[in-house]
Chains A and B, each alone.
Chain A
């Protein structure tokens, strides 16, 4: 009789797609993989379907989502506008988590303490996890959000995994894509992050 393996838990990563956030993006991929999650993001599965439908499906099929709302500035191209996608996707995740029978946990991240109280007062009383856009601070924020019953990674393990993912990103840039916020680089980085977790979390490497 064939055994059916349970599907691995998926984590939706919602960060600004900007070179300024590349290390944050890599840290979320490395961190999610270090906790045994399969990262997914809006970069995945580009198709002719409506963007909204596609993102809703990605979020609703994920058990966890990480929302970095720290990009609050206006862009330079006239008319100067703020990026509202991250906040919108958080709204979708909140909605998914509140639907009947849903198993979805969402987490909010920012770089400035108490700023969200002003920018998104509907989240009043909810304290985002704070980081300073360094990989170390993102990984520490993830450590405060996640824990594992078995194969718990240490901070040193997380940093080793991050370094290998960062090197993989450099190789991808050298070989075929300068933009890591794209479908194929994302899948390759997720695979590399999982391999790094198998290597650097001692209980998994045994």
Chain B
């Protein structure tokens, strides 16, 4: 399908500033896509790519060539996370904004491995109110993409709660997500403001690229996650990442939202995100020595000075305890927040997720009888398949539940390529 001639002209005008080789490559890619592959581009899509990447021929070339799942239009490239993942701002063709993640491992198998890791925490995909809604889509070549709901707001280091009320909501909502993950033996491993979003009056945990089973984080492994929210035991290297370090990281985010600095950092202190190995080591050593020698000054005193609400102060103090053994579990954080901060929390009474057993029982009772493939839309079938995969991954114990699950799996049949 051809594009509007004025848009094509606009592209060509932009191209005049480029190197001729780049221009030829982009023109060729565009023609190939539109005329040979017959993969259309909407005017919105082209306009967005031009606006964002008009001066980046290489990126434009990548995006023209990109075979996204047919249900989506890619609007721009957002970032590359490490060497494994590229993130795109995209739109479901129903108009809904999403984030599309592509895994750039060479083999489909390796891509699948990375994707499975991201999917680990979604045994009840799309059902937990504080975990990002996630789907898996394939493009025409069978390559899998992770599709996340695009949240209107994602926090950053400069985000401030503006008081104990909002901080309580952040703490409680994400503690619920952690309670859910930890209950499934999963450690998030990278809690930081950039991985927390806000949508429809609730905070949501994002990005499960590091998330894995507790046993898979061994003490000898390089510490993962952000230095800003890294727990003392990881800085010192006394133990590997665990549930307690997730709790610390959440405490650190809430601390930052109230105090204006992360627990072991000074206000406005430059925090290296991507730097040379030497710089990073130097910074790690510096923070590590603060954790050993000046913990009281950095954490306890500042909590005392900046957090007036006693319930919040006590809870944060425990979550940020230097010794991981002294920290509360996610369950305890939820429970403490519920009792000490309930007056501030919006989602009290609305947070309960439904047990897998109850969900299976409901699906067994209330889905139409017979072959579900013939009554469910493609999208619904995919969502159900995704939910059942999650149940399967959560290692059911009851015989009845296993039976129901197997029955449902039979009724939805094999996934088509």
Does B associate with A? no
Name B residues whose Cβ lies closer than 8 Å to a Cβ of A. Answer: none
Task: Please report A residues at the B interface, Cβ cutoff 8 Å.
Answer: none
